[in-house]
Chain A
């Protein structure tokens, strides 16, 4: 057993190999732009069922999440187990926008507020019916929260598993807060009852197609931006931070700002993913803040291949599609499949499924040698 593992790991050569360059990611981004156009046409012309179009859009936002996490984990080696927080910031803000629009149309506040005995929206909903303002808030708040958290943790040089644990604790606490009913964010049941998005009825096939295409486009944009970062000297620095942060500091770099920059970019991408996700599923509740969801993002990246943008994206698409299919057909089987898959990949394929061909070669090599001796 050990012999096999050794020959496989020799073949895979995790850390020593050069960082993958992100050229493939730029090509994939181009392909996604074409795919987005195809979805827009197919969705509006009725060539594809709205269910499938909607599903593609949702999965694309998961792909964005994976890209966001891969930038900081795969390249800078900072594992966040709380990226659901930024996803939720985007999701909740867009939900507030949609609720405000619905309120202005119907004149009645959403059920969860009536239940609390409120007859108008609380003050922090002011102006949110304006979409550009909501969008700006999403970027500012997710970026601001990430900046503050990054500054505090990176400045005191919290790193490694400590950092991961603290991100997880943060998202857990946020979940507990959002479970409360008196916050004006829908509490336990979350926010739903959206009517229109930018004047379009939210359930119309055209809106679904547009949202789905927008999600795929956004995923393409995230891929492109991250690929550019990874190929630049900033990207080399991120890899250097992963490999040996204090060495980089002794080369004269303030690694604090590099890490914060990557962290904030990652958070904003996650928030935009959340913003696109919520109108497509029509609801947001505190379960997006559960630590499980955040860990799942890391699982996508680990399975697809850490440190390669294409791999992370593919991992998210593969696993979340598999989850949608399996939770519909065999819900009790899914957790078993997921956990065994994670264990298998983590133990045998340190760089994810992209290692599978190399691992296979390693195994064949081991068999050949054994046959020879």
Chain B
């Protein structure tokens, strides 16, 4: 018998202050691990860290960070809604594309809707399309038990193909590049100072999501859904309908992300419109422990990574893959912290023979 034993034990619940502290440490550690990788690319790590911050929070780069924050944050809420209910919608990027496509289509049919109303339409059209796209997977899950993690991801590729088809085919603009005609002027959200007014929409939508999850019956029903079918029957919930509602709402937020981004930033569609904000949103969702009230903070970090990757690519010639790697490191560190705040590992030294002679 070996004298060393490694034991994993459950911890008592940690106070929130410590949890936040540990999360910050995880973020810093993931940045530290990145240093040798950056050095291996022949870049001074100090410069890398400098641009990591300057590239996202300096006066000239901060609007870019905000621009990225909105889609990341909405995709983060989309992930939180489905994950809280034990459903795994990981196709936010697909719903994001469909939301933008649908907005562009309807807006091109009715381009003259007056501004305050047209801004509302941006959100509603994007949400409905994204929700409907995700609802397909919800219905498949509810009625045929098809795994929603697989179907939502697959539907992402379908959405991406539709985007490519439209950009190269029927919606191609006369300019010649594979890009579509622009979104009508009335539908383009204006800036307030240096930042976009879509930020207000984000604040309102975040508050509504928080209200729904923490303060309403639907929020509780979602958590019960995550507990399994027998509890659901006991409480008397309509299981299939609930799955569909959750998937619709989850897609709704991701769809809004796409429509908003088209409206205040992209203005037209191109194959590169898909920026994988959805995957960043999923990381952000784990970073804030599926709590909507912290979702903007965690999304801000991910959004900052996006904008610093632009800056670094331009100034330091660091490939944007470096920030992808950093995102991955971040996720690993966060999951590790989640583990260690719930469990602790004890290493024990034991001398098995010391008292063996006693009867």
Q: A and B from one assembly?
A: no
Chain A contacts to B: CB under 8 angstroms: none
